[in-house]
């Protein structure tokens, strides 16, 4: 039974991913007094990309062709091993947070290699920036989750979520709420959002994530777009569920619990997407050479969470 | 200092032709240096083909004495191998003008430090001089492949980034070559001139009225300024007197164009340059309101047809009242937007210290308009060489000292206010009467300087005895400001370049007539 719940959890995320992107875009359009495209547009975009011709430069190698599959595989794996709608359904080793971090890094590395492989200027520039940022993201990522791991008493994300769900509200645990703030910073950076990267820009010189995708077209672009939508949804879903660990699907499961759990995830994702759109509409993208300040802040916040968790443990 | 005292202290020869002082070509650099040393910098150069009159080619150098006027030096060059000693050796501002004349006429500036082609691309054969009178405007050229070497930086870890000419956004074509180390720009060179239309050639042999549609299309976002510069030059050459109502209306149309484009630029710098989407959304909304207003007032969203030789598009009293209401609403909205912009630390942090142009560089390159004023150069053709009815309105010239993107933003914000004041003052002082005088072109030649929202336009027009244009030399401010990127770019990081670019917002089409 728990196996099916774990599969269901992943499938819901895979299904909702384009919708999340569409919702963020719609909310951003509304913040800018624009009407915006319908929320379901990303589904249609992916479908039309799948039908389009693929242009591959003759200067590229197998890495260019294979990279989208590795990136998508990493995103799909994350969808299944990171708990969003359900808790207590995965074995501890499966959602070990170092495994999760490793799988995410695996995707990033292949994305960067795909960007470099076509030997275009922008792909290389984007890959260089992505790897620079990745080195900054990791300390904050692991510090933040370590604080949660200490609070939850387990290195498993599933276990952490189960623990937080068992409390009245994770906001009542200072260490957890501070660590979650740090994870919001990480989520923005990992998904190439403001103030680190601008997902909507057409200025090729300023791009990070988009620069690596510039040489891709047709189905391979669809795979990469879908992978980044999945990754965004996974991380938003995780942070939202950790912050609001209510109505999670937990065994023993009832039909009502299942429906409520799915609806709750949609509501949490919508809230997270709205907050993301708000941040992107009110923040200014930071200068690239000030990124270390942003990540230092994220790291220090995460460290504060970890210290607080250590202190409360010794008491 | 006045023009006369400048002339006497320079001991300029008395002989003038078409308003220009004739000096021997060998002495041209010495006179040019003397002019610059006496506070009259070089602002404009143009060539002419005088072979029909039996005197070969002529090169003209225009020096500006703010508040007084212009001194033009003219040197006649032989028809065979026209050449003269280059001014660029001592005057940086002559750099592109001399390369331009080399491409247009085959006039060689001896000793020019960078004698590469300027407007001709690789596919134009050597020895093609399109502005010579014996070159047919519809000549078909064979395809050539003349090398155009671009600057390179060698060294460990130096990476070359070619950008464009086709870009991701819907903008004009232009190629930029960055040499970077990491993200830091070491050198930056542009290769523009992908939008050649041949305007200067096409207007030759046309009457001013026939030429007007070509002038309006030189740069899509400044038709009023270009038609006004052209009209002023034609009127001065033909001694046409423009009714006062038309001169006031010219102020109104010019300032409306300036208001619209400053709104656009402030929205574009804040919104697209830094990713502060709020600025783009609000700025572009107001630009759209302005353009709809232009369409209802003058029949064209970009104000084509607002200025004609001898007159200007007239306004009814109700139309003027409606315009004032729209402007009041936009002024109020923009005040709120600017308050938020100045209050957003993230935005100002992106603007400040980005893309600094020093005052010395602005002066050396002969920077025009916003680029010059934001670096502390107090220049504005509306005050320095009044035209239309600006002499009656006392323009307050806005300058800033820092020379960075923030300074250029602030210059726009303050000029926006000043333009609103000028529109109101011009409408209040609008006299009754006709807004159009008969414009009959007569033989003559004249220079006009007009301050567009980008910077000063210089137009020199010579009309033949048949009332048709013999030569129109047109210089858009972008032509003098594009080379500034070589100064502004280095030292910045690559992701900040689009912001530097937007802070100048130069025209590709205006540069490449």
| Cα dihedral across residues A280, A286, A288, A294: positive or negative | negative
Cβ <8 Å between A201 and B275: yes
- Which residues, in sequence order, are CB contacts of B220 under 8 Å at separation 6+? B302, B509
The domain that contains B105 carries what CATH number?
A: 3.30.460.80
| Cα dihedral across residues B237, B241, B247, B249: positive or negative | negative
**Residue-wise pLDDT tens for chain A (315 aa)?**
678 888 999 999 999 999 999 999 999 999 988 899 999 999 999 999 999 999 998 889 999 999 999 999 999 999 999 999 888 888 888 889 999 999 999 999 999 999 999 888 889 899 999 999 999 999 999 999 999 999 888 999 999 998 888 888 766 688 888 899 999 999 999 888 888 888 888 888 888 888 899 899 999 999 999 999 999 999 999 999 999 988 888 878 888 989 999 999 999 999 999 999 999 998 888 888 888 899 999 999 999 999 999 888 776
* CB-based contact, A31 to chain B, within 8 Å: yes
* CB-based contact, A282 to chain B, within 8 Å: yes
Cβ <8 Å between A125 and B162: no
Nearest CA in chain A to B280: A32
Domain count, chain B: 2
Chain B residues whose CB is inside 8 A of the A125 CB are 161, 494
Cβ <8 Å between B498 and A288: no
Separation of CA B220 from chain center: 13
What distance in Å separates residue A111's CA from the closest CA in chain B? 20
The domain that contains B239 carries what CATH number?
A: 1.10.645.10
Would you say A229 and A78 are in contact if contact means Cβ atoms under 8 Å apart? no
End position of a domain, from candidates B110, B133, B149: B110
Cβ <8 Å between A195 and B494: no
Whether B287 shows a pLDDT value over 70: the answer reads yes
What distance in Å separates residue A198's CA from the closest CA in chain B? 7
> How far is Cα A29 from Cα A18, in angstroms, rounded to an integer?
16
Cβ <8 Å between A284 and B280: no
* CB-based contact, B277 to chain A, within 8 Å: yes
β-strands B175-181, B456-463: how paired?
Answer: unpaired
Would you say A273 and A24 are in contact if contact means Cβ atoms under 8 Å apart? yes
Tell me: do B106 and B203 sit in the same domain: no
pLDDT for residue B17:
75
Strand partners, B59: B47, B75
Strand partners, B189: B177
pTM of the complete model: 0.92
* CB-based contact, A202 to chain B, within 8 Å: yes
* CB-based contact, B272 to chain A, within 8 Å: yes
| Cα dihedral across residues A117, A123, A129, A135: positive or negative | negative
3-state secondary structure of B497: helix
Determine what percent of chain B falls in helix, strand and coil, rounding each to the nearest 5: 45, 15, 40
What dihedral angle (degrees, nearest 10) is formed by the CA atoms of B150, B152, B157, B161? -10
CB pairs under 8 A between A and B: 76
What distance in Å separates residue B286's CA from the closest CA in chain A? 12
pLDDT for residue A249:
86
pLDDT per residue as tens digits for the range B31-57: 999 999 988 999 999 999 999 988 899
- Which residues, in sequence order, are CB contacts of B280 under 8 Å at separation 6+? A32, B267, B268, B270, B271, B272
Chain B residues whose CB is inside 8 A of the A286 CB are 346, 350
Domain spans, chain A: 2-314
pLDDT for residue B301:
95
pLDDT per residue as tens digits for the range B186-224: 999 989 999 999 999 999 999 999 999 999 999 999 999
Across the interface, which of A32, A205, A282 has its CB nearest the CB of B494? A205
Q: What average pLDDT does the segment B282-297 reach?
A: 95
pLDDT per residue as tens digits for the range B347-406: 999 999 999 999 999 999 999 999 999 999 999 999 999 999 999 999 999 999 999 999
Element (H, E) at A72: helix A62-81
What distance in Å separates residue A131's CA from the closest CA in chain B? 13
> Does residue B488 belong to any structural domain of this protein?
yes
* CB-based contact, A69 to chain B, within 8 Å: no
Nearest CA in chain A to B352: A287
pLDDT for residue A171:
66
pLDDT for residue B471:
94
> Does residue B133 belong to any structural domain of this protein?
no
Cβ <8 Å between A125 and B494: yes
Tell me: do B79 and B203 sit in the same domain: no
* CB-based contact, B183 to chain A, within 8 Å: yes
3-state secondary structure of B193: coil
End position of a domain, from candidates B60, B82, B110: B110
Cβ <8 Å between A289 and B493: yes
What distance in Å separates residue B276's CA from the closest CA in chain A? 5
* Contacts with A, B 482-511, CB within 8 Å: 493-498
Cβ <8 Å between B272 and A203: yes
What dihedral angle (degrees, nearest 10) is formed by the CA atoms of A238, A242, A246, A252? 70
Tell me: do B501 and B397 sit in the same domain: yes
Q: What is the CA radius of gyration of chain B?
A: 22
Strand partners, B474: B459
> How far is Cα A267 from Cα A236, in angstroms, rounded to an integer?
12
Tell me: do B101 and B206 sit in the same domain: no
Enter the tokens of residue A276. Answer: 């993301």
pLDDT for residue A92:
82
pLDDT per residue as tens digits for the range B111-136: 999 999 999 989 999 989 999 999 99
Across the interface, which of B160, B282, B497 has its CB nearest the CB of A205? B497
> Does residue B151 belong to any structural domain of this protein?
no
* CB-based contact, B336 to chain A, within 8 Å: no
pLDDT for residue A1:
67
> Does residue B189 belong to any structural domain of this protein?
no
> How far is Cα A57 from Cα A46, in angstroms, rounded to an integer?
22
* CB-based contact, A35 to chain B, within 8 Å: no
> Does residue B275 belong to any structural domain of this protein?
yes
Cβ <8 Å between A288 and B493: yes
Task: Say if residue A311 is exposed, middle or buried (CB neighbours under 10 Å; 0-12, 13-18, 19+).
Answer: exposed
Look at residues B16, B204, B225 and name the one whose alpha carbon lies nearest to residue B104. Answer: B204
- Which residues, in sequence order, are CB contacts of B496 under 8 Å at separation 6+? A287, A288, B350, B354, B355
> Does residue B120 belong to any structural domain of this protein?
no
Residue indicated by tokens 């591959």: A56
Cβ <8 Å between A33 and B280: no
pLDDT for residue B463:
94
End position of a domain, from candidates B110, B131, B165: B110
Across the interface, which of B274, B278, B494 has its CB nearest the CB of A285? B274
Nearest CA in chain A to B348: A284
* CB-based contact, B114 to chain A, within 8 Å: no
Q: What average pLDDT does the segment B153-176 reach?
A: 87
Whether B2 shows a pLDDT value over 90: the answer reads no
Cβ <8 Å between B167 and A204: yes
Nearest CA in chain A to B495: A206
Chain B residues whose CB is inside 8 A of the A196 CB are none
Task: Say if residue B410 is exposed, middle or buried (CB neighbours under 10 Å; 0-12, 13-18, 19+).
Answer: buried
Nearest CA in chain B to A287: B350
Chain A residues whose CB is inside 8 A of the B169 CB are 202-203
* CB-based contact, A296 to chain B, within 8 Å: no
String of b and e for B72-93 (b: at least 16 CB within 10 Å)?
bbbbbbeeeebbbbbbbeebbb
Enter the tokens of residue B255. Answer: 């300032």
> How far is Cα B255 from Cα B396, in angstroms, rounded to an integer?
13
What distance in Å separates residue B151's CA from the closest CA in chain A? 18
3-state secondary structure of B85: strand
Chain A residues whose CB is inside 8 A of the B159 CB are 124
At residue B399's C-alpha, the angle toward residues B393 and B403, to 5°, is 155
3-state secondary structure of A164: helix
DSSP state of B140: P
Enter the tokens of residue A59. Answer: 């200067």
- Which residues, in sequence order, are CB contacts of B16 under 8 Å at separation 6+? B22
Percent of chain B with pLDDT over 70: 100
Structural domain including B255 reads 199-511
Cβ <8 Å between B498 and A206: yes
Strand partners, B163: B176
Tell me: do B75 and B221 sit in the same domain: no
């Amino acid at each position: 039974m728990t196996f099916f719940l774990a599969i269901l959890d992943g499938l819901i995320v895979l299904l909702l991913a384009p919708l999340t992107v569409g919702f963020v875009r719609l909310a951003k359009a509304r913040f800018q007094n624009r009407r915006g495209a319908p929320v379901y547009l990303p589904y249609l975009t992916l479908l039309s990309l799948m039908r389009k011709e693929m242009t591959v430069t003759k200067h590229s190698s197998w890495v260019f062709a294979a990279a989208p599959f590795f990136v998508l595989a990493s995103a799909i794996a994350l969808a299944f091993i990171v708990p969003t709608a359900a808790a207590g359904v995965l074995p501890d080793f499966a959602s070990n947070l170092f495994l999760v971090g490793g799988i995410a890094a695996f995707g990033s590395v292949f994305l960067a290699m795909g960007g470099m492989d076509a030997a275009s200027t922008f792909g290389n520039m984007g890959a260089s920036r992505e790897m620079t940022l990745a080195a900054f993201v990791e300390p904050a990522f692991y510090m933040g989750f370590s604080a949660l791991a200490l609070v939850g008493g387990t290195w498993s994300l599933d276990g952490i979520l189960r623990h937080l769900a068992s409390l009245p509200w994770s906001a009542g645990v200072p260490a957890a709420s501070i660590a979650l703030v740090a994870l919001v910073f990480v989520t923005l950076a990992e998904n190439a959002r403001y103030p680190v990267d601008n997902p909507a820009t057409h200025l090729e010189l300023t791009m990070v994530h988009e620069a690596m995708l510039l040489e891709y077209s047709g189905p391979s672009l669809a795979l990469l777009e879908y992978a980044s939508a999945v990754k965004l949804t996974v991380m938003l879903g995780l942070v939202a569920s950790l912050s609001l660990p209510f109505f999670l699907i937990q065994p023993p499961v009832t039909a009502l619990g299942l429906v409520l759990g799915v609806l709750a995830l949609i509501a949490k994702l919508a809230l997270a997407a709205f907050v993301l759109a708000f941040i992107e509409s009110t923040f200014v993208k930071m200068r690239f050479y000030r990124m270390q300040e942003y990540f230092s802040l994220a790291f220090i916040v995460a460290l504060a969470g970890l210290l607080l968790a250590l202190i409360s443990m010794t008491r | 200092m006045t023009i006369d005292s400048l002339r006497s202290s320079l001991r300029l020869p008395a002989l003038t032709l078409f308003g220009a002082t004739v000096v021997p070509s060998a002495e041209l650099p010495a006179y040019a240096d003397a002019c610059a040393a006496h506070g009259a910098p070089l602002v404009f150069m143009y060539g002419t083909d005088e072979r029909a009159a039996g005197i070969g080619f002529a090169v003209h150098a225009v020096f500006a004495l703010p508040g007084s006027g212009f001194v033009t030096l003219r040197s006649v060059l032989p028809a065979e191998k026209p050449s003269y000693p280059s001014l660029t050796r001592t005057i940086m501002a002559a750099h592109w003008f001399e390369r331009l004349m080399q491409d247009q006429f085959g006039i060689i500036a001896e000793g020019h430090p960078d004698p590469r082609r300027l407007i001709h691309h690789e596919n134009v054969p050597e020895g093609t001089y399109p502005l010579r009178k014996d070159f047919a405007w519809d000549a078909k050229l064979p395809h050539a492949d003349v090398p155009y070497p671009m600057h390179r930086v060698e060294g460990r870890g130096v990476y070359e980034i070619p950008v464009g000419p086709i870009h991701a956004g819907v903008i004009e074509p232009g190629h930029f070559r960055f040499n970077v180390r990491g993200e830091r720009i070491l050198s930056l060179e542009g290769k523009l001139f992908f939008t050649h239309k041949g305007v200067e050639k096409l207007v030759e042999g046309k009457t001013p009225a026939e030429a007007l549609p070509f002038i309006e299309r030189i740069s899509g976002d400044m038709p009023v300024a270009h038609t006004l510069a052209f009209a002023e030059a034609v009127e001065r050459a033909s001694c046409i007197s423009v009714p006062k109502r038309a001169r006031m209306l010219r102020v109104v149309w010019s300032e409306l164009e300036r208001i619209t484009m400053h709104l656009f630029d402030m929205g574009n710098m804040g919104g697209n340059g830094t990713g502060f989407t709020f600025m783009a959304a609000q700025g572009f909304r107001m630009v759209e309101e302005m353009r709809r207003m232009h369409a209802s007032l003058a029949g064209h969203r970009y104000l084509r047809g607002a200025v004609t030789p001898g007159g200007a598009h007239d306004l009814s009293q109700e139309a003027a009242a409606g315009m004032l209401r729209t402007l009041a609403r936009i002024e109020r909205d923009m005040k709120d937007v600017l308050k938020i912009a100045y209050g957003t630390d993230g935005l100002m942090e992106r603007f400040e210290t980005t893309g600094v142009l020093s005052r010395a560089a602005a002066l050396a390159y002969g920077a025009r308009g916003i680029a010059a004023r934001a670096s502390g150069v107090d220049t504005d053709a509306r005050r320095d060489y009044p035209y239309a009815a600006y002499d009656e309105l006392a323009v307050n010239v806005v300058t800033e000292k820092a020379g960075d993107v923030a300074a250029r933003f602030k210059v726009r914000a303050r000029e926006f206010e000043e333009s609103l004041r000028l529109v109101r003052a011009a409408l209040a002082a609008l006299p009754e009467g006709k807004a159009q005088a008969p414009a009959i072109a007569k033989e003559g030649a004249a220079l006009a300087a007009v301050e567009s929202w980008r910077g000063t336009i210089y137009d020199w027009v010579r009309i033949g005895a048949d009332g048709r244009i013999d030569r129109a030399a047109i210089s858009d401010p972008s032509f003098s400001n594009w080379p500034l990127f070589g100064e502004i770019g280095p030292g910045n990081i690559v992701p900040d370049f689009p912001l530097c670019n937007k802070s100048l917002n130069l025209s590709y089409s205006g540069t490449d007539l």
